[in-house]
Structure 1
């Protein structure tokens, strides 16, 4: 395995149709959106999906969701304490954690659990090389809300009737842009390799595989394409901001309400000496 030597920037274009891509618990689980109506997906949500995909690919993951736990540990503290050797220095602890778990060496992690660091009361922080922005829709999204009822009482003796009301929300259609970068200097510290980067690229391409739920039925979330820029040096030929701006996505008809990817025009502004690899989503 070879440590990453070239800076990488990437963008994922993802389409959402009749689904709730990321509910906001502080707003009745409505799809996240800005005050001016643009849809959002949090970076935490995106990393959760990536961790799930990486588990599907056989990688060891530190921050596991409860329903996907594959090592029998019921907490992050137990996983840290029982997976790593005792009496390590802070640097040794960080190195062993990066070697053990893909998401630690990719996204970083703070180990601040009682008795789970080099010694009790000492926390260890790892900065990961992979940074992911909060995703935002290209144009404002229309959020549809509908009342739902349950057909039976949840428990015997439940005083609530079978017609108890609830709410379900979905985005009619939205095209979201997920931006990210991989920093070589931090990759050298965590041991993030070229092979790790290639696996991340494949997981971005298949981001919504095995992610279906009642809020996100199969086929309602789709990766359209992944744009993957690999620079020819460690710091990059261009800034990440300039690279991300080189992908221009806009409506074909500014007055129309988008209902599919076909309503958008996608253009790449050329950057001398830097061509992206364009991978079609699954």
Structure 2
């Protein structure tokens, strides 16, 4: 079980792709109509993490597994494969349940685990535009045998997204989450947003991880700063409209408010891990060694592998 509370900030950008389509609205990118900010659900992010963890050789419970007849196995059927529904066996083998928890409402053998790791919805740090892309397919459909069919899909030209998360040391007791699990999760988060099969598709291709920060609090500190995502912003030229942004190098990331909060509570922080893409530009005073001044600051260990 983990002994230290953690907070996470994760930034990634999307170019000419759909970061998280809404199946109830023509699979359009999810937009806050009042602010024109683009949203990505926590479930979308967890799916990326799960898929990358599976590629890393970890066992995942929330997965697609098909029977001999081609139909997907139900949760009930998957559960029975773990010593006929032994929850301790599931926790022992499945890293995603240790991380994110799960609810198993199956007959008299119901059980619910609160996930120690929780993420808020990701939000773009600027307004975004949604574009409808139209085209045609070469192969005709059954109804239109003499010609190809029309196709259309939605993208955003560009968006920089920020996710905020927390790992609760108290909840880790129930799911048996370990420090090693969290290290694997951060690796899957960084690598998966770019490399997993799920994001290398026609609608998703164009994701790049830009900055990942993990703040580890001292053991016994029942404290976290909170709302880290509201302490970051972008600094762009006044003449550059939000909807015209097309690249990470067109603006700077401003971490000055994060710096104020961190320095105010630095006595409660044990260590900070980070990973930053070389194309990210930070405002003056927002360099990571300044934001986390007088705090142990190290790159994630898995970067050295």
- Structure 1 position 159, deviation (Å): 4.0
Residue range with higher mean Cα deviation, 133-142 or 204-213? 204-213
Q: Which residue of 2 aligns with 1:134?
A: 121
Instruction: Note closer, same or farther for the CA distance 1:161–1:60 as it changes in structure 2 (3 Å cut).
Output: same
In the alignment, does 2:38 pair up with 1:50? no
In the alignment, is the contact (CA less than 8 A) between 2:18 and 2:29 conserved in 1? yes
- Structure 1 position 163, deviation (Å): 4.1
- CA distance in structure 2 between the partners assigned to 1:31 and 1:105 by the alignment: 30
Report the aligned-residue RMSD.
2.3
**Residue of structure 2 aligned with 1:253, choices 237, 240, 256:** 237
Partner SS, residue 192 of structure 2:
coil
- Structure 1 position 161, deviation (Å): 5.2
Q: Which residue of 1 aligns with 2:204?
A: 216
- CA distance in structure 1 between the partners assigned to 2:38 and 2:63 by the alignment: 26
- CA distance in structure 2 between the partners assigned to 1:40 and 1:245 by the alignment: 15
- Scaled by the length of structure 1, what TM-score is found? 0.84
Partner SS, residue 233 of structure 2:
strand
Instruction: Note closer, same or farther for the CA distance 1:266–1:84 as it changes in structure 2 (3 Å cut).
Output: farther
- CA distance in structure 2 between the partners assigned to 1:85 and 1:164 by the alignment: 48
Q: Which residue of 2 aligns with 1:277?
A: 273
- Structure 1 position 254, deviation (Å): 4.0
Residue range with higher mean Cα deviation, 253-262 or 184-193? 253-262
Partner SS, residue 245 of structure 2:
coil
Partner SS, residue 140 of structure 2:
coil
Q: How does 1:23-172 map to 2 (within 5 A)?
A: 23-35=21-33, 36-65=35-64, 74-85=73-84, 93-113=86-106, 120-155=107-142, 158-159=143-144, 162-172=147-157
What runs of 5+ residues in structure 1 fail to find an aligned partner?
Answer: 87-92, 114-119
Q: Which residue of 1 aligns with 2:300?
A: none
In the alignment, does 2:233 pair up with 1:231? no
Partner SS, residue 11 of structure 2:
strand
**Residue of structure 2 aligned with 1:20, choices 18, 21, 24:** 18
- Structure 1 position 185, deviation (Å): 0.3
- CA distance in structure 2 between the partners assigned to 1:266 and 1:215 by the alignment: 30
In the alignment, is the contact (CA less than 8 A) between 2:64 and 2:72 conserved in 1? no
In the alignment, does 2:3 pair up with 1:5? yes
In the alignment, does 2:254 pair up with 1:266? yes
In the alignment, is the contact (CA less than 8 A) between 2:37 and 2:128 conserved in 1? yes
Partner SS, residue 150 of structure 1:
strand
- CA distance in structure 2 between the partners assigned to 1:207 and 1:258 by the alignment: 24
In the alignment, is the contact (CA less than 8 A) between 1:10 and 1:244 conserved in 2? no
Instruction: Note closer, same or farther for the CA distance 1:76–1:254 as it changes in structure 2 (3 Å cut).
Output: farther
What runs of 5+ residues in structure 2 fail to find an aligned partner?
Answer: 278-302
- CA distance in structure 2 between the partners assigned to 1:65 and 1:12 by the alignment: 27
- CA distance in structure 1 between the partners assigned to 2:165 and 2:5 by the alignment: 11
- Scaled by the length of structure 2, what TM-score is found? 0.78
